[in-house]
């Protein structure tokens, strides 16, 4: 994760005041308690019920219902609860900003989940930049001494759920087989509940205020607020807390830019999808992924930008399966051809075929994300493909 020009800017909309960031910047224990009060610490049945009522979905990328994850964590052995703040997505800074400014809210969610499950271990797996503020927050509390702080490995796939468990177990931050259910057999062979740190902070709000309160803002299909990192061709890159029904246009406007005047917008980061300017009037929905909104200015070539991302995805793979070992490098090579105008129509057809071949066939979901990105680029930048085939570019690449 590269962290530059981060601007923490909670919403100033009176109709949607900040939730996660309500305690302000770098909130210590006193400011946290003044803003939120003590955690209730609901028992498992009550917490499951309130989470189901809330509609809270994961904020790490998969958008899986939080109550289902809790309900699925069963077994004869006491489970493990892990908070994942590794944030390997290059264009996401939201977890780092959350941990620097609201570490106590994350700890509240982690401890509430651990208490509800009777966890044998409670772990926070964090990017190195977050260790200091979280350690300071733990030192301010009497209930967090059991939390294990572990520095996360660098790398794009190192933050994938099974890679986190593998890193904690063996020291190798590479994904395990996608058919393995961590909820049944995770860290130490125990049932494991793993949530992104923002999801845990949202869980803490549900514990305090209940599911009905949580649903009071946002998209009914994905209620609440979320943190988004806006990057690219904008006046000020930053992390913003917005209701989940906020349109892409309004999100980008918070960063001082006009989405409808961009060449395209990438939602969800490297595993996300491009959308055209005409599609930015809607909210990101599930396409938000880990909350990344990257704006591509009109002077930048979408094919060149995508080729660079696909090359990074190929280099970042764990090389444990055919799609990562062979499919992603082939996709990177073909996209480089497409961006350079070499055999552009044939390269586009081959990319569409490769996306079909790798999708759903990897040991983890890394190839699926690459396939999703490629398909969206071929759709949104179709005119660019034809222009490159003629030896010209519709944009002046930089």
CATH code (residue 364): 1.20.1440.230
Q: How far are the Cα atoms of 264, 304, 360 from residue 129, in angstroms, in the given order?
A: 31, 31, 34
CATH number of the CATH domain containing 109: 3.40.50.11540
The number of beta carbons lying within 10 Å of the beta carbon of residue 285 is 13
Which residues, including other chains, have CB under 8 Å from residue 89's CB and lie 6 or more apart? Answer: 1, 61, 156, 159, 269, 270, 271, 290, 292
Q: Are residues 79 and 198 in the same domain?
A: yes
Half-sphere exposure of 76 (CA within 13 A, CB side): 0
Cα–Cα distance, 103 to 105 (Å, whole number)? 5
Has residue 1 been placed in a domain? no
pLDDT-flagged residues of the chain (< 70):
1-16, 178-179, 396-398
Q: Are residues 195 and 66 in the same domain?
A: yes
Q: Are residues 74 and 89 in the same domain?
A: yes
Q: Report how far Cα 243 is from the mean position of its chain's Cα atoms.
A: 16
Q: Are residues 246 and 356 in the same domain?
A: no
pLDDT for the residue 62: 82
User: Among 270, 253, 230, which residue's Cα sits nearest to residue 8?
Assistant: 230
Q: Are residues 209 and 233 in the same domain?
A: no
pLDDT for the residue 225: 97
pLDDT for the residue 7: 44
Q: Are residues 209 and 107 in the same domain?
A: yes
Q: Are residues 288 and 320 in the same domain?
A: no
Q: Are residues 259 and 283 in the same domain?
A: yes
pLDDT for the residue 391: 87
Has residue 364 been placed in a domain? yes
Instruction: Kindly tell me the burial class for residue 37, based on how many C-beta atoms sit within 10 Å of its own C-beta (0-12, 13-18, 19 or more).
Output: exposed
pLDDT for the residue 363: 80
Q: Are residues 246 and 210 in the same domain?
A: no
Domain that holds residue 338: 302-389
125 contacts 84 by C-beta, under 8 angstroms: yes
CATH number of the CATH domain containing 258: 3.10.20.600
Has residue 245 been placed in a domain? yes
Kind plus residue range of the DSSP H or E element containing 267: strand 264-267
Residue corresponding to tokens 């570019």: 393
pLDDT for the residue 396: 59
Query: Where is the domain boundary, 184, 200, 215?
Result: 215
User: Among 108, 98, 95, 118, which residue's Cα sits nearest to residue 140?
Assistant: 108
Q: Are residues 161 and 53 in the same domain?
A: yes
pLDDT for the residue 14: 47
Structure tokens at 259: 């989405």
Has residue 265 been placed in a domain? yes
Q: How many domains does the chain have?
A: 3
Has residue 200 been placed in a domain? yes
Q: Is the dihedral of CA 14, 16, 18, 19 positive or negative?
A: positive
Query: Where is the domain boundary, 275, 296, 317?
Result: 296
Q: Are residues 196 and 51 in the same domain?
A: yes
Has residue 16 been placed in a domain? no
Q: Is the dihedral of CA 87, 89, 54, 280 positive or negative?
A: positive
Cα–Cα distance, 138 to 128 (Å, whole number)? 16
Has residue 75 been placed in a domain? yes
Q: How far are the Cα atoms of 104, 267, 398 from residue 252, in angstroms, in the given order?
A: 29, 11, 22
Query: Where is the domain boundary, 269, 296, 323?
Result: 296
Q: CA torsion, points 208, 211, 212, 217, in degrees to nearest 10?
A: 90
Has residue 107 been placed in a domain? yes
Q: Are residues 169 and 267 in the same domain?
A: no
């Amino acid at each position: 994760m590269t962290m530059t020009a981060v601007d923490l800017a909670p919403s100033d909309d009176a109709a949607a005041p900040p939730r996660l960031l309500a305690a302000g910047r770098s909130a210590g224990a006193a400011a946290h308690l003044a803003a939120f009060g003590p955690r209730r610490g609901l028992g498992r049945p009550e917490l499951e019920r309130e989470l189901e009522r809330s509609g809270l979905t994961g904020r790490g990328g998969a958008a899986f219902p939080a109550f289902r994850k809790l309900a699925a964590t069963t077994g004869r052995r006491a489970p493990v609860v892990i908070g994942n703040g590794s944030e390997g997505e290059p264009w996401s800074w939201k977890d780092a900003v959350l941990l620097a400014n609201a570490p106590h809210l994350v700890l509240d969610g982690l401890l509430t989940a651990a208490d509800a499950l009777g966890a044998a271990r409670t772990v926070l797996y964090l990017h190195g930049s977050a260790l200091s503020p979280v350690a300071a927050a733990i030192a301010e509390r009497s209930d967090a001494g059991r939390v294990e702080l572990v520095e996360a490995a660098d790398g794009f796939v190192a933050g994938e759920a099974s890679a986190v468990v593998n890193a904690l177990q063996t020291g190798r931050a590479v994904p395990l087989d996608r058919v393995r259910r961590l909820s049944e057999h995770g860290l130490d062979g125990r049932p494991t509940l793993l949530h992104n740190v923002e999801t845990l902070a949202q869980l803490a709000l549900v514990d305090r205020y209940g599911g009905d309160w949580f649903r009071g803002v946002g998209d009914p299909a994905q209620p609440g607020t979320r943190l988004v990192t806006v990057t690219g061709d904008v006046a000020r890159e930053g992390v913003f807390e917005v209701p989940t029904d906020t349109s892409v246009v309004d999100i980008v406007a918070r960063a001082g830019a006009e989405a409808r005047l961009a060449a395209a917008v990438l939602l969800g980061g490297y595993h996300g999808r491009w959308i055209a300017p005409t599609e930015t009037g809607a909210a990101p929905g599930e396409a938000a992924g880990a909350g990344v909104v990257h704006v591509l200015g009109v002077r930048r070539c979408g094919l060149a930008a995508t080729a660079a991302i696909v090359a990074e995805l190929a280099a970042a793979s764990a090389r444990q399966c055919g799609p990562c070992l062979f499919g992603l490098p082939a996709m990177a090579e073909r996209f480089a051809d497409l961006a350079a105008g070499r055999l552009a129509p044939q390269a586009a057809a081959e990319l569409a075929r490769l996306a079909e071949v790798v999708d759903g066939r990897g040991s983890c979901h890394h190839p699926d994300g690459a396939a999703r990105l490629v398909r969206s680029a071929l759709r949104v930048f179709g005119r660019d493909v034809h222009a490159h085939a003629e030896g010209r570019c519709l944009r002046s690449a930089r």
